[in-house]
Structure 1
Amino acid sequence: MSQAPDHGPDHWHRRLIVATPVLLILTVSGLVLVDLVGGSGLTWVPLLATGPALAATTSGPRAVLGVGLLATVLGVGLGLRGGAPDGELAIALAALLVITLACAVTSALRGRRERVLAAVRSVAEAAQHALLQPVPATVGPFQVAVRYSAAAAEARIGGDLYALVSTPYGVRLIVGDVRGKGLPAVGTAALVLGVFREAAHDEPDLLEVVARIERSLARNLGGDDFVTAVVAGYPRDGQLEVVNCGHASPLLVRDRVVVPVEPDRPAPPLGLRALSGETPALHVLPFTDGDQLLLYTDGVTEARNHHREFYPLAEGLERHTCDSPTDTVTALHGELQAHVGGRLHDDAALLLLRMPPRTRASLEGAGNPATGHAEPAMERLPDPGLSSRLSPRGTPC
């Protein structure tokens, strides 16, 4: 699974750690030089406390005490050289020592918090891999690429969800978005993914997979909670089944032409069927050589720049579509981050499927994804709902 570029808090913290020794040397050297040139006695000695204060931001207690000891020795030297009264010098040095001790305690507490945070992050990463399992570059007949970014960078996981599994009934996948944020959203995402992975292997009918998720959510969610999702399956060569439950429409790419895949009949989000009484419909989509399908969450399309303009995903997909799903998704994610100024404010997921071109011989020898038996090659099926300009050829990166 692709990971977001490292521009978060960890990145800047590492840069600060590298820069701190240089800042310490420049600060202490500058103060000593000013005092030597000006001969001002105790005037600059209290400012030597900036040394241990800076050290406390990135270093351990021992390093802070070492810097404080050095600052004290320099303070004694500067005070004696400037002819400062003994009483005043003693007070200045005592203040310097107290500040050093306080900085050492602060450094110890910071180190403890960092260790706790590292442990929490390791648990979050383990939870992420358990919930959002890494997707291989090839699943069944498809080339696949995934990019996921949680709005809470420290947590690493959020309310967006995705899964892609190979089953006896063909490749099946889900992309969804849980209402809300935080741990409740993560718990709901875990519930949806668990039910989907089990039902995808058990149910021959894709609508039954969706129905099992709906029943599980109806038992476990509150009245105001719901999940928008797109569930898709590839039961036979050349056809993709799509069930949209209140989610953003996937984008079909054929010969660099991007077309939204609108549901035949609008359906409510998962968890709200009992309130509306409406059931989702199965949309059958021709999907053959060179075709690509992008599924995403609203964290992508609702991302705004400083002018409050939404990110134009369809236009970005037209610009960056190529024969490598990984390159396409990476380019989209980079452009999305540039659009918002570097930090997303909502969870965002991108999942791109591509059917690589195959020869007629490989098509004739390929098995049905659902049965494993060989079938004759299928001709490309027209879809009256799509543009007649669409063709099966892809575009190299």
Structure 2
Amino acid sequence: MLGLPSVWGAVAISYKFACPLAQQTGLGARIVSSAVFFAVGTGLIVHARHGLLRELREMRAVAGAAQSVLLRPLPSRIDGLALAAGQLSADRGASIGGDLYDVVATDHGVRIVMGDVRGHGLAALATVGAVLGSFREAAHDESELGGVLRRLERAHARHLRQRSRDEHPAAGGAEPENPLAEEFVTVLLLEIRQDGAVHALNCGHPWPYLLRPGAARRAEQLIGGDPMPPLGPFPLPPELAPVRCGRILPGEGLLLHTDGIEDGRDARGRFFPFQDALSEVVGHRTVVPTAVVQAVYARLLRHIGGPPSDDAAMLVLRNDRRRVPVQHGDPLGRTVHTVP
């Protein structure tokens, strides 16, 4: 920033002492001198503007690269499931925030994580990276879903301890903006088995929605009881038994989301009618994950009339498996059918 005034000053001094016109005191000479200084100053400002825009583009490219690593693009299909996901960031100009999600196919079934770090924007990226990195390994290594959740808890605790050391005054860090005791992340872990059964562990996160085109209730929330507290403030209980919260038949869909969608308000303070919007989007048509994500976001932005006040992530999948066998004692009592 000091370079521009220095250049402008050097040009002014050179013109003043080297140009004969600058020595004259007439009105015409003064007008010419003013025009020269104005042109030089304008050129310097334009040059600075181009430099700042170039730096901004580079910063956005770095942010996009970080997003592709942390929230890597999901495949369109995985183990018989069609997928699509999206995210709206509350930070203006940012494409990344404090929401996280991923889907992996394992020997134990398709495992999904959806989470929401306290806060949003770039400040939450380190926590997102710690949780997602742990999930991507633990999902394959742990035979039980409870083991995956414990690995996420340990990764989050290590991350907080490291932050505490980095931000301690003895390490040269400033006073932390947010006390570490208040740091937490909500997590929903799902395991979708070959028969379509959905098993879940929930730490303070919204439950998913089952999407059934043509049914009387086209969007129904799958609730598996009271969720546990978010990761961070309290330790996990000794026993972690996943709950079966539903079953997806071929052609049906499942939607996971963060609370930034349900908490969206319009100018009159009314919440976004999420379930009604889902029922309208699904209708009697086939569940198309990409179309559902785009349609819900369009309705959300139209409802709030501007950018969201919180990060809003969404993940939609559709069961494209050919046949789901009837299970003895299936609580949903639905018959077997095949996808045409």
Q: What stretches of structure 1 of length at least 5 have no aligned partner?
A: 1-85, 364-376
Aligned twin of 1:356: 320
Partner secondary structure for residue 147 of structure 1: strand
Aligned twin of 2:64: 125
Q: How does 1:118-197 map to 2 (within 5 A)?
A: 118-197=57-136
Confirm or deny that 1:235 pairs with 2:193.
yes
CA contact (8 A) 1:162 1:174 kept: yes
| Greater Cα radius of gyration, structure 1 or 2 | 1
What TM-score does the superposition give when structure 2 sets the normalisation length? 0.77
Confirm or deny that 1:383 pairs with 2:322.
no
CA contact (8 A) 1:147 1:351 kept: yes
Assess, with a 3 A threshold, how the Cα gap between structure 1 residues 119 and 183 changes in structure 2: closer, same or farther: same
Q: How does 1:209-288 map to 2 (within 5 A)?
A: 209-221=148-160, 222-254=180-212, 255=215, 257-274=218-235, 281-284=241-244, 285-288=246-249
Assess, with a 3 A threshold, how the Cα gap between structure 1 residues 166 and 325 changes in structure 2: closer, same or farther: same
Q: How does 1:306-325 map to 2 (within 5 A)?
A: 306-321=267-282, 322-323=285-286, 324-325=288-289
TM-fit CA distance, 1:354: 1.2
TM-fit CA distance, 1:342: 3.6
Q: Deviations over 1:122-142 (max 9, x none)?
A: 111111000001011111121
Q: Deviations over 1:274-318 (max 9, x none)?
A: 2x8586652212222222111111111111111121111111100
Which of the two has greater helix per residue? Answer: 1
TM-fit CA distance, 1:96: 3.5
Aligned twin of 1:112: 51
Q: Deviations over 1:326-375 (max 9, x none)?
A: 111111111111112242232111101111363x5xx6xxxxxxxxxxxx
Assess, with a 3 A threshold, how the Cα gap between structure 1 residues 281 and 100 changes in structure 2: closer, same or farther: farther
Distance 2:328 2:62 in 1: 47
- Identity among equivalent positions (%) equals 36
- What one-letter code is carried by the residue in structure 1 that aligns with 2:127? T
Aligned twin of 2:256: 295
Assess, with a 3 A threshold, how the Cα gap between structure 1 residues 303 and 243 changes in structure 2: closer, same or farther: same
- What one-letter code is carried by the residue in structure 2 that aligns with 1:283? V
Assess, with a 3 A threshold, how the Cα gap between structure 1 residues 158 and 170 changes in structure 2: closer, same or farther: same
Assess, with a 3 A threshold, how the Cα gap between structure 1 residues 262 and 379 changes in structure 2: closer, same or farther: closer
What TM-score does the superposition give when structure 1 sets the normalisation length? 0.67
**Using CA pairs below 8 Å that are at least 6 residues apart, which structure has the higher relative contact order?**
2
Distance 2:155 2:53 in 1: 39
Q: What stretches of structure 2 of length at least 5 have no aligned partner?
A: 1-24, 161-179
Quick one: which of 115, 129, 139 aligns to 1:200? 139
CA contact (8 A) 1:288 1:380 kept: no
Partner secondary structure for residue 236 of structure 1: coil
Distance 2:327 2:219 in 1: 22
CA contact (8 A) 2:326 2:335 kept: no
TM-fit CA distance, 1:120: 1.4
Aligned twin of 1:347: 311
TM-fit CA distance, 1:214: 1.0
CA contact (8 A) 2:250 2:319 kept: yes
- What one-letter code is carried by the residue in structure 2 that aligns with 1:296? H
- What one-letter code is carried by the residue in structure 2 that aligns with 1:223? A
